[in-house]
Structure 1
Amino acid sequence: MGMISRVRGRIRSDSFSKFPLIKSEDKIANIVWLLSLVLLLPYWAPRGLLLALGGAWLMAAYTCLVLPVLISANYRYPARWYPSVVKFAQESARRMRAPVRKVLRVVKAAYAPLDRVEKFFLQMNNLSTMLSQLLIFTACDRLLVSQGRLTSLYSLMFYNVVTYSVSYVREICTKEDWSPYVNVTRHSRVKHLAMSATKIVLEWTKAVTFIVTITFILLTLGLEQGLEHYRPNALYTIITGIYYFLSEKTFLELGPVGLAGLKLERLEGMEAIYFGVWARGITTALAVPLVPALAWYERWRMATLVLYLCVFVHGRHRLGEALLKLKEARGSLARFRRATPEELATLEDVCAVCLGTMRSARVTPCAHFFHADCLRRCLAASDRCPICVRPYVFC
């Protein structure tokens, strides 16, 4: 019995002490890691297991319920090798920084000719806008319309007619000279016969074209013939309508006017700049989810075109230019403080630049009040106060 007791004691003291005990938190971390692998398996199934079982709604619900739980669980119980992996990744990134910079320089030099082509293409505003609209409409046609492959063309034609009608009505509302005659010179009363006849014919042609267009659209919408291939749904109409109206030049010019009617003081009279950023951002954001959706249905060429033209080119140049303008506007006004409501209430004055009432204003170091947009335009021409012509001195 004594020998058995000594053997047991030696085994307990020597053998088992060589194996470190696994802590409970490490066990939980390993279990969480393994469960994460198991719960992420449906994303790796061919063509999507969840999509095959319940469609996109089941996939979205599963993602919203499972992914936050997995992220929080791995954050709460991280495995021991997580910090090592993070440290290795940081060290690798530090070592690869210099080679990556060299590669980026080479890529930038090789991409320079294509960049010039992109800028030249965007300078042809009507053509580039029409191609981007056609791509988005065609992509929505392939994804959201099961039948009727001509839906995109019908929709684009309908939106173009709406744009033409709006621009014509806008021209009539903003027209100041209703005289059908054209004078020989600006201050002369002698009528130019040929130019007057051309102007009359042109105005009547516009009016007749407008009436015929509206009549044709009403007849087309009222008759079922000719619309058998036009079968848009609500989501298709919302996406294409928003993209078209936020990318078309006519509505880009009317948008700031409507936004100015809201009289939002936070915009400080820079509605055109803010609306440009919002319009470019929304159109780019609408094009982004179409790329993986087209790739999912193996429409690689369409996905590549949308990614390059509607996301990369328009996002990089047009959205980038709009953001740069907004940044410059904010940067030029950052030195001037906002006027308080008490100062505006006791001021009872108008802006010296535009002679408009001031609901919001910026204050110069020489204690003069201006609209933010008016002051920004003055700063573009001179760095002196428009009233006292003194240079701005900031303490």
Structure 2
Amino acid sequence: MGMISRVRGRIRSDSFSKIHIKSEDKIANIVWLISLVLLLPYWAPRGLLVALGGAWLMAAYTCLVLPVLISANYKYPARWYPAVANIARKVATRLQSPVLRVWSVVKVAYSPIDRAERLFLQLNNLSTMISQLLIFAACDRLFVSRGRLTCLYSLMFYNVITYSVNYIREICTKEDWSPYVNVTRHSRVKHLAMSATKIVLEWTKAVTFVVTMTFILLTLGLEQGLDHYKPNFLYTIITATYYLLTEKTFLELWPLALAALKLERLEGMEALYSGVWARGVTTAIAVPLVPALAWHERYRLAFLLAYICVYVHGRHRLGEALVKYNEACDSLARFRRATPEELSTLEDVCAVCLGTMKSARVTPCAHFFHADCLRRCLATTDRCPICVRPYVFC
């Protein structure tokens, strides 16, 4: 009995008396276990998810549950979270130099592919047409039932519309309506060969435009000759949006449309904003089509779409547009915006473009310029266009 009492007293004094489980640790462990339970649906078989509601149910579950789990684990972290973070930090530090060496080797090996990608994008018409065909083919496989030639018909139909827009734009912006060509700029003597060529070209354009409009009317009104052309609403919206944001003709018209809206927030830099928006929207259209094609087991088309329309166009064209936009914003960040009171009392025009100023930037020497005009001046010199003083910022 004496030995039992001594052992019992030692246990009470040495072991269990030193163990104190805090309430926060209990809550952290409970949160961690509940998180494991709530993450189990992500390991469920594909057939179970489809039976329960498919991708929409999974997306709703993710939006509702994951933010709660992240915030709960952030507020009540388990004791082993910091230890794991320290171990991961140490491993990343040790692997940093080998990873950098491997990355340099990968960059050297990838440089020929990078040059090929840039050469491919320099062929603007070809690269644009290939990307359009890939998007149209993806939409054809996903949204059109038994429409094998829908993508080709759609591209032809959009090209016809583009030609009509180009012709109408040329007529609206045309200044010389004379059918003759003079020998020299200031001469009145007619050049017979060039005049005949100009007349033939103008008549050819007019006849082609009439035939094109007739084709559009027959296609839309009588629906003849297009047995496989059966697009639905979603297919038309996606393909038309992608085509309008990638075709050169419409890319030149979007800045004019933005300028017609007269949004003072854009500060006359509609070309930069439209470039970023167009490239961003086209890349965003292509991104969800890749997993959808993989879901329908169209792996080759999914790979081509991910590489050309997402990676190549996103990395180069969207990247270049973002670089130009960021450079413009960084160069103008030093100059403050003019207040409405200053513009109302100014009653002056921009010294660069001689246009009225509804929005302006102010230089340190108290001169007002349009933001886009000032940006173009900063590309050539770091002096004020009026007083030719260097900009000094306090």
Could you tell me the TM-score, scaled by structure 2's length?
Answer: 0.92
Aligned to 2:102: 103
Q: Distance in 2 between matches of 1:287 and 1:246?
A: 13
Q: Which moved more, 1:162-171 or 1:2-11?
A: 2-11
Supply the AA of the counterpart residue of 1:376. Answer: R
Aligned alpha-carbon RMSD (Å): 2.4
Matches within 5 A, 1:183-222: 183-222=182-221
Q: Which moved more, 1:2-11 or 1:333-342?
A: 2-11
Supply the AA of the counterpart residue of 1:274. Answer: Y
Q: Return the offset for 1:319.
A: 1.0
CA contact (8 A) 1:148 1:228 kept: no
Aligned to 1:252: 251
Q: Which moved more, 1:324-333 or 1:6-15?
A: 6-15
Aligned to 2:126: 127
Matches within 5 A, 1:93-242: 93-242=92-241
Q: Which moved more, 1:174-183 or 1:365-374?
A: 365-374
Q: Distance in 1 between matches of 2:145 and 2:17?
A: 67
Aligned to 1:382: 381
CA contact (8 A) 2:353 2:373 kept: yes
Q: Distance in 2 between matches of 1:328 and 1:165?
A: 36
Aligned to 1:334: 333
Distance 1:233 1:70, change over 3 A: farther
Q: Return the offset for 1:192.
A: 0.9
Count the aligned residue pairs.
394
Q: Distance in 1 between matches of 2:372 and 2:140?
A: 42
Distance 1:391 1:65, change over 3 A: closer
Supply the AA of the counterpart residue of 2:168. Answer: V
Q: Distance in 2 between matches of 1:86 and 1:186?
A: 76
Distance 1:80 1:144, change over 3 A: farther
Q: Distance in 1 between matches of 2:371 and 2:15?
A: 77
Supply the AA of the counterpart residue of 1:117. Answer: A
Q: Return the offset for 1:355.
A: 1.2
Distance 1:132 1:26, change over 3 A: same
SS at match of 1:251: helix
Deviations along 1:108-165, one digit per CA (max 9) or x if unpaired, are 1111111111111111100011111111111122222233122222222222122111
Matches within 5 A, 1:353-368: 353-368=352-367
CA contact (8 A) 1:333 1:372 kept: yes
Which consecutive residues of structure 2, in runs of 5 or more, have no partner in the other structure?
none
Q: Return the offset for 1:193.
A: 1.0
Indicate yes or no: 2:350 matched with 1:351.
Answer: yes
Deviations along 1:163-215, one digit per CA (max 9) or x if unpaired, are 11111111111111111111111111111111111111111111111111111
SS at match of 2:189: coil
Distance 1:151 1:19, change over 3 A: farther
Distance 1:264 1:278, change over 3 A: same
Indicate yes or no: 2:298 matched with 1:299.
Answer: yes
Q: Return the offset for 1:5.
A: 10
Aligned to 2:321: 322
Q: Distance in 2 between matches of 1:258 and 1:146?
A: 36
Distance 1:162 1:187, change over 3 A: same
Q: Which moved more, 1:302-311 or 1:119-128?
A: 302-311
Q: Return the offset for 1:225.
A: 4.2
Sequence identity percentage: 78
Deviations along 1:195-238, one digit per CA (max 9) or x if unpaired, are 11111111111111111111112211223443442232322222
Aligned to 1:38: 37
Distance 1:390 1:66, change over 3 A: closer
Distance 1:211 1:9, change over 3 A: same
Indicate yes or no: 2:52 matched with 1:68.
Answer: no
Q: Return the offset for 1:348.
A: 0.4
CA contact (8 A) 2:218 2:224 kept: no
Q: Distance in 1 between matches of 2:28 and 2:390?
A: 65
Q: Return the offset for 1:267.
A: 1.3
Could you tell me the TM-score, scaled by structure 1's length?
Answer: 0.92
Q: Distance in 2 between matches of 1:173 and 1:67?
A: 56
Deviations along 1:250-294, one digit per CA (max 9) or x if unpaired, are 111100001011111121111101111111111111111222222
Distance 1:5 1:317, change over 3 A: closer
Distance 1:364 1:6, change over 3 A: closer
CA contact (8 A) 2:144 2:231 kept: yes
SS at match of 1:288: helix
Aligned to 2:12: 13
CA contact (8 A) 2:360 2:371 kept: yes
Q: Return the offset for 1:51.
A: 2.2
Distance 1:338 1:14, change over 3 A: closer
Aligned to 2:28: 29
Deviations along 1:349-393, one digit per CA (max 9) or x if unpaired, are 111221110011122233222111112222223333222333333
Q: Distance in 2 between matches of 1:31 and 1:83?
A: 17
Deviations along 1:20-74, one digit per CA (max 9) or x if unpaired, are 4654444443343333333333323333522233233222222222222322333
Q: Return the offset for 1:4.
A: 12
